[in-house]
Chain A
Amino acid sequence: MSLNESDKAVVRATWSKISKAADVIGADALGRMLCIYPQTKTYFTHWPDVKPGSAHVKEHGRKVMTGVAMGVAKIDDLSAGLLELSERHAFQLRVDPANFKLLSHCILVVMAIMYPKDFTPEVHVAMDKFLISLSLAISEKYR
């Protein structure tokens, strides 16, 4: 299920529409994930507050979306483009890759909430494929 040229075009066009709200999207998606899938909180025990809207959640949501932006920029070769991020997740952070799909799902839900008219089924499928490909590229260096 790799990205074809049509998918990439949709992802780029969608990103240009939503990128200015990236921080808000990231914060909301991360907050939702921590709330809906409590097991994900195990990675953030060093934060005093994991509630949606907290400073840590906001800052980290922003960081995550910076990674997504990088993915859009390097969409033609995600594995190479995200090599450093993959190494960080593999050797330092060691986030179980099963969690990537949980966050991806929350990102899609936030997009549906914020852009109900733009988040058509066609945009949905392209973004779903993109986030899956991104997750795969981040998992690249795990083993």
Chain B
Amino acid sequence: MVEWTDFERATIQNLFSKMDYELVGPAALSRCLVVYPWTQRYFGNFGNLYNAEAITSNENVINHGKVVLHGLDRAVKNMDNIKDTYAELSLLHSEKLHVDPDNFRLLADCLTIVVASRMGSDFTGDVQAAFQKFLAVVVSSLGRQYH
């Protein structure tokens, strides 16, 4: 059972209520594909991922970025049971998509960077700590059902 302080709960709810999903999702995913190019292995059918500009403007990347970020909504709404919330998604990523779970951590780092760049000085050390803790729980839950 993950224990959340009041500050952590409030920070996560606040962050996501203000999040521009349409911009942040695509920005985080495209950044991940550029900064950690081996993650492109899962998107062979996405078309042109040849360079940073192609990746960032790729329609499939943009759409998928939105899907992924909205996927976090369930965790935001169920902070006290993220593990069970993502059990099915975890199995999907393992059995069907065959995604190395380390990639979740890489995407989480890129998401942190994108959120930081948008929030500026409001993204204090305490806020960053809460956000990273939340993402760490999500990442752990997504890897939990791998076998």
Contact = CB atoms under 8 A, between A and B. Distances in A.
Given A113-B116, A113-B121, A113-B123, A36 B34 contact: no
Interface residues of B, number: 23
Nearest to A105: B109
A113 B120 contact: yes
Nearest to B118: A116
- Chain A interface main SS type: helix
Interface string B93-131: 000000000000000010011101111110101101100
A47 B126 CA distance: 21
A116 B120 contact: yes
B52 interface: yes
B35 A109 contact: no
Contacts of B132: 36
Interface stretch (A68-76, A80-88, A117-125, A133-141): A117-125
A112 B31 CA distance: 12
A31 B123 CA distance: 13
A108 B109 CA distance: 10
Interface of A: 31-32, 35-36, 52, 105, 108-109, 112-113, 116, 119-122, 124-125, 128
